[in-house]
Structure 1
Amino acid sequence: MMDLRKYIEEGKSSSAYLKEALNQPVRWYPYTKEVFKMAEKEDKPILIDIGASWCHWCHVMDEESYSDPEIARFLNENFICVKVDRDEMPNIDRKYQEAISALTGEGGWPLTVFALPNGEAFYGGTYFPKEEKFGKPAFMKVLKAVLDSFKKEREKTEAIAEEIKKNLENKFVMGEPNPEMLKKALDSILAIADPVYGGFGFGQKFPMPTAVRFLLNMRDRFNDSLKFADQTLEEMFAGGIHDHIFGGFFRYTVDREWTIPHFEKIVYENGELLITYSIAYRCFGRKIFRLASEGIVDFLEKFLKADLGFYTSVDADFRGEEGGFYTYSFEELKDVLDDLELKAFKFFYNVSEAGNFRGKNHLRIDASVDTVAEEMGISVQDLEEILSSGREKLRRYRYRLKDELKIDKSVYTSYTSIVNSGLIYFGLIFENDTEYAIKNAEKLLSDRFHDILMRRDGMEGLLEDYAFTISMLVDCYTATLSEKYLDYAKELAEIGIKEFYRNNGFYDGDDPASINDLSHRSAVSQMIQNLITLGIYFMETRYSEIAERVLKSYAGLGHGLFDAGYLLSLQSYFRPMVVESDLSELRRLRKYINHNVILKEGKNSICLGDRCMICDETELEKFLREALNVSSKFRGL
């Protein structure tokens, strides 16, 4: 049986998270079919640890428990221990996240799963401390209880696992899609909107870029969806979830006010946010949304650019300290900044000797430039130059230590595709060059697609790799108007249908794929939209029919915040915007790139859903601007 060390030595994984486990005394195995056969032969329960190299609490549990000789000895004697990188195997992560959430209401990373020898979960949680704290039992106590349950109450344990399995198999709730679902979903999302700080809920805050993108594409009676999207993106830009020095966004904040994040930075989340902030700039014409977009691009280029695409993540920890790369002691600020810059930072970012995170300062905007300029007796322009100078000094001061950051240098097809789509949106909306993104996409396709699509070297593509690569190729078409990208997209769609579509749904392995979005849009909803789009481009009714069947499979569910990608697909289904014109006019209209905008060469016309109109070039643009909630500040008319 191949253990984790041999698995990595033979090049079957390049995961940074798995490599980190090689120094632990636990005898880890990779997630393979052979592991379950071994567990059945030895009749042992399976411990599945699911995490990522960027995850702070994964490192804590690794150091506290999996590096402890006594715990390791107990695990090695009584369990088959499996290590999974959630970025390498997001389908496995999602399967067990849903299982443990259904059982305990918990989710996140590290995910600690206890499974029968056949791999079906019967208990689990997230972080378990070595000693009892945070209201959680000691890990050894949990292990002994789980083992006792497995050995002495086997029938009951198997019944729990079977119940969880049945619950998760019931993902399809059939219904008939109708436009009213969009309005109900919007009401559901706005019902949990935080009216004070933006975002969703009243505790820790996640960016939820797909949900915000949905709000930007809706229009209700009082424009509440647009107003709230604007507020949320502004609060995020000002908050500590935004890296004010290096650009980009952290994964989430631990508080309602967006102040203190968990300091990991993930490539796919920033790719989705690049799309959302670019669209927001088109909707509102606000400078801060342009700055947010430019900052994301800068972060991706300086920290995550790889030869083939983009690396996966930057770890939260630096020199053994959570957030150490992004926080500054007051002494450091005094040493790096001049007196005027330090004064401006005190007013604008509220830096202090006490700090706001473990005695250090994590930057968040605490006042408006107008207020601070007045307080300092200078012009707004002078203040912005002073702040910019201070940020640049801090950037240079910290960037020299960049090589000490732990960066997961795995390059996954789906994540790089999301980023390439973001770069195309950014390029077209801000009228920058998209050639760089197109070359990235072509290089990725050339390396990863030969008869089948690969997720990485040695690993076949998952549903999400097909879904996001097809979407990227459609975006490449929008940027270039070259139909070769649509032909590639169609070829991949055919393989994706053959590999993943059955029983009116898309499957990841034996399980129906979830419609819920996580840190990025769900692969199912993206695939639905791809088929709607390709069906229109190629006048291929089979694609449209498959998309409709899958939409129906989920239509009976309640929809809202966690499946906003499905709602975007519904918009494409009910109201695609098909614009026909000559190539020169289409090139001019590319800045209106959107999930439901389809550009085709032909006579001047636009079809909104089932309503088509012949119109001149001015009318074409006017219709698009109105339909996409475009600001009058955004150039065009």
Structure 2
Amino acid sequence: MNKLASATSPYLLQHADNPVDWWEWEPAAFEEARRRNVPVLLSVGYAACHWCHVMAHDSFEDEATAAYLNEHFVSIKVDREERPDVDAVYMQATTSMTGHGGWPMTCVLDHDGNPFFAGTYFPDQPRHGQPSFRQVLEALADAWATRGDEVARVATTLREHLNQRATLAAGAVTGAVLDAAVLTLAGEYDAQSAGFGRAPKFPPSMVLEFLLLHGSKQARGMAAATLEAMARGGIHDQLAGGFARYSVDRDWVVPHFEKMLYDNALLLRVYAEWGTDLGVRAAEGIADFLLGELRTPEGGFASALDADSEGAEGTYYVWTPAQLTEVLGPDDGPWAAGLLSVTDAGTFEHGSSTLQLLAEPDDLKRWYRTQRLLRSARDRRERPARDDKVVAAWNGLAISGLCRAGRLLDRPTYVRDARVVGELLWRVHLVDGRLRRVSRDGVVGAPAGVLEDYGCVAAGFLDLLQVTGDPVWLERAGVLLDIALEHFAADDGGFFDTADDAEALVARPRDASDNASPSGLSSLVHALTTYAAVTGSGRHRDAAEAALETVAAIAEQAPRFAGWSLAAAQAALDGPVEVAIVGPPSAERDTLERQARRHLGAVVVVADGPDERIPLLVGRVAVDGRPTAYVCRGFVCERPVTTVEELAEALLRRP
């Protein structure tokens, strides 16, 4: 065992028995490198990363390679999901030096953490003009020993580059900017296969949320076609629900099979809001996947399922016609093969196929029976490994998705499950008044929460407030937002991704663009806007508007990477609409609530009656004892209504 044996991260634990003398990211590792006068090799990855596993098997498990590393380097292994701050800094260095990024990421650092070499995956043998990992190590060790001045010069230059802040034009994200973003997205839209760009294709969940909120025919058309293509494609697990990380092809046929919590939490929300029959089935499937396969014994959600099982990618998920017939019999087997696009040639490797549901089954009962039988047979295969660490931000996203789906789809159990997650985050992840990023087996880890943790968890708490009417969630969200405003704010109205008292890295990371999950800034803007809508707080509303101004240039130039900010701005442009629904629990109140939540972007708080602890509910009483809705903008409210028809009219009226 090396120094990773006591790590929290399952990814680090995967490397605990490597012959490499791995260290975690800690000052002692750099002190050891300084004592021995050797460089630091930093390897960054995550548990569900396929090529991380390949490099580990080929190089880090190889005794000769490990011996060379141990002699000439101090080696540090980092889980990018546990330390997104470290990952962000060195990914910026990697893309600056090579023009591209990815994982596994390999950087070599001096004793102060300054990078002087960066790359991604290196093979164990030279291939296609790429040197082997051993060749790279030998060249770097030689450079350190014989060309120290050159190494120092490169490291200093890179450090200066990492600390440069690009100046982006600030401005209001107005209705005109939002309309222009839709036109830009239309120019990047794939009219043949839906989605944006060609391949690989990632689920653009945050952009889809914005397009649904925008509501124009063009915007909703792009969103609907993309949601349908993904739901019917191989990227969607047609047997057990949930979506894979991305499709390697243009047509959503073959995924990279890892399943991430953040993707599915965001897609749960957007499919529930889309609300078609297909969208409802997809949303319920995602919720079933989260609750059935990612839920931890403590009530939180694990980070991911691996892409690999049986030593190869995708073997758990793919089928041949013969396998279908073996499970289903000579009549249903060929029928299922036709329905699910499973062919003799195959759509994946070795004649196997992913499962697609390109058309509605002609016999739903037959399809549901087929689905159950295939799922049961698949359960007997070797399952992909699970990364069971609980990440605060992603669990916050899951809370929001479950709350919204629970109310929109009339699944109250989802709300109960979301509340359990919220209690876990508050009880375990809040330590000495500050948020920690990860826990595992109910034990909190050391890494401090970053901005996305504060934003996503606060937003999740505010969604719990809206569906439960319990003011404790408003209070807890307020605590997190106060910390974010005090410790993460930048002078220009934006935010850094790490706190002002966090561990100092070679640069303080700050990135307002959305990537695989919402940026810290965009997630915080959602929470600030919602908090202001519930409380009337001008301070929080002003902070949200100032933060949005710092992403105006990204919103105009690259809206695909600002979808979550655009969604927040679109909701804010409509007020946002504030709806208080009060009255005793009943089917009538549920009907009013569903109508209000169909107005996407509205902040809807439901409670039994007025509550002085929740400003939006102050003075809101049921009219004639009936469930009653109050529609407001900026705390200026229309007359209370008691019918769905009146509520629908009030929601559509502009002030």
- 2:330 maps to a residue whose letter is D
User: Which of 430, 447, 472 lines up with 2:428 in the alignment?
Assistant: 447
- Quote the residue 2:624 is aligned against: none
Q: After superposition, what is the alpha-carbon deviation per residue over 1:114-156, rounded to whole angstroms, capped at 9, x for unaligned?
A: 2232223333222111112255322222223333444444444
- Quote the residue 1:562 is aligned against: 561
Deviation at 1:252, TM superposition (A): 0.9
Q: TM-score, normalised by structure 2?
A: 0.85
CA gap 1:56/1:86 in 2 versus in 1, 3 angstroms: same
- Quote the residue 1:373 is aligned against: none
Q: More displaced, 529-538 or 152-161? A: 152-161
- Quote the residue 1:393 is aligned against: 373
What does 1:43-192 align with in structure 2 at a 5 Å threshold?
43-169=37-163, 170-171=165-166, 173-179=168-174, 180-192=176-188
CA contact (8 A) 1:51 1:58 kept: yes
Matched, 1:341 2:322: no
User: Which of 303, 307, 317 lines up with 1:326 in the alignment?
Assistant: 317
CA contact (8 A) 2:533 2:634 kept: no
What does 1:578-589 align with in structure 2 at a 5 Å threshold?
578-584=577-583, 587=593, 589=595
Deviation at 1:414, TM superposition (A): 1.8
User: Which of 423, 442, 445 lines up with 1:458 in the alignment?
Assistant: 445
SS at the partner of 1:428? helix
Aligned-residue Cα RMSD (Å) equals: 2.6
CA gap 1:210/1:79 in 2 versus in 1, 3 angstroms: same
CA gap 1:595/1:82 in 2 versus in 1, 3 angstroms: farther
**1: CA distance between counterparts of 2:381 and 2:599?**
38
CA gap 1:521/1:435 in 2 versus in 1, 3 angstroms: same
- Quote the residue 1:551 is aligned against: 548
Q: More displaced, 149-158 or 485-494? A: 149-158
Matched, 1:506 2:488: no
Deviation at 1:423, TM superposition (A): 0.8
Matched, 1:429 2:411: no
User: Which of 255, 274, 281 lines up with 2:249 in the alignment?
Assistant: 255
Deviation at 1:439, TM superposition (A): 3.0
- Quote the residue 2:271 is aligned against: 277
**1: CA distance between counterparts of 2:517 and 2:403?**
17
**1: CA distance between counterparts of 2:308 and 2:290?**
19
SS at the partner of 2:16? helix
Q: After superposition, what is the alpha-carbon deviation per residue over 1:503-557, rounded to whole angstroms, capped at 9, x for unaligned?
A: 3432214514311222211122111221222233323322233333333333344
SS at the partner of 2:436? strand
Deviation at 1:624, TM superposition (A): 3.6
Matched, 1:28 2:4: no
CA contact (8 A) 1:576 1:597 kept: no
CA gap 1:118/1:574 in 2 versus in 1, 3 angstroms: farther
CA contact (8 A) 2:101 2:119 kept: yes
User: Which of 278, 284, 288 lines up with 1:288 in the alignment?
Assistant: 278
CA contact (8 A) 1:171 1:512 kept: no
Q: More displaced, 319-328 or 570-579? A: 570-579
- Quote the residue 2:474 is aligned against: 486
Q: After superposition, what is the alpha-carbon deviation per residue over 1:462-513, rounded to whole angstroms, capped at 9, x for unaligned?
A: 3222211101110001111222211111012112333323434322145143
CA gap 1:591/1:542 in 2 versus in 1, 3 angstroms: closer
User: Which of 636, 643, 648 lines up with 1:621 in the alignment?
Assistant: 648
User: Which of 444, 461, 474 lines up with 1:473 in the alignment?
Assistant: 461
- 1:62 maps to a residue whose letter is A
- 2:424 maps to a residue whose letter is K
- Quote the residue 1:417 is aligned against: 396
CA contact (8 A) 2:200 2:248 kept: yes
Deviation at 1:91, TM superposition (A): 2.4
SS at the partner of 2:487? helix
Gaps of at least 5 residues in structure 1 are 371-379, 628-637
- 1:100 maps to a residue whose letter is T
**2: CA distance between counterparts of 1:263 and 1:333?**
20
CA gap 1:610/1:417 in 2 versus in 1, 3 angstroms: closer
CA gap 1:536/1:353 in 2 versus in 1, 3 angstroms: closer
What does 1:603-618 align with in structure 2 at a 5 Å threshold?
606-607=631-632, 616=641, 618=645
- Quote the residue 1:376 is aligned against: none
- Quote the residue 1:577 is aligned against: 576
CA contact (8 A) 1:347 1:366 kept: no
SS at the partner of 1:387? helix
CA gap 1:340/1:474 in 2 versus in 1, 3 angstroms: same
CA contact (8 A) 1:241 1:253 kept: yes
- 1:438 maps to a residue whose letter is R
SS at the partner of 1:506? coil
**1: CA distance between counterparts of 2:494 and 2:28?**
28
- 1:203 maps to a residue whose letter is A
- 2:384 maps to a residue whose letter is L
CA contact (8 A) 2:577 2:633 kept: yes
CA gap 1:580/1:423 in 2 versus in 1, 3 angstroms: closer
Deviation at 1:615, TM superposition (A): 7.0
CA gap 1:444/1:528 in 2 versus in 1, 3 angstroms: same
CA contact (8 A) 2:324 2:337 kept: no
Matched, 1:305 2:295: yes
CA contact (8 A) 2:172 2:548 kept: yes
Q: After superposition, what is the alpha-carbon deviation per residue over 1:323-374, rounded to whole angstroms, capped at 9, x for unaligned?
A: 111122443222111222112123222213332222243333364247xxxx
**1: CA distance between counterparts of 2:116 and 2:649?**
57
Matched, 1:268 2:262: yes
**2: CA distance between counterparts of 1:589 and 1:120?**
55
- Quote the residue 2:306 is aligned against: 315
CA contact (8 A) 2:638 2:650 kept: no
Q: More displaced, 58-67 or 355-364? A: 355-364
- 2:291 maps to a residue whose letter is E
**1: CA distance between counterparts of 2:572 and 2:292?**
38
Matched, 1:597 2:584: no
- 1:518 maps to a residue whose letter is N
Q: TM-score, normalised by structure 1?
A: 0.88
CA contact (8 A) 1:48 1:84 kept: yes
Gaps of at least 5 residues in structure 2 are 584-588, 606-615, 621-628
**2: CA distance between counterparts of 1:56 and 1:358?**
16
Q: After superposition, what is the alpha-carbon deviation per residue over 1:81-124, rounded to whole angstroms, capped at 9, x for unaligned?
A: 11011221122222222221232222222122222322233332
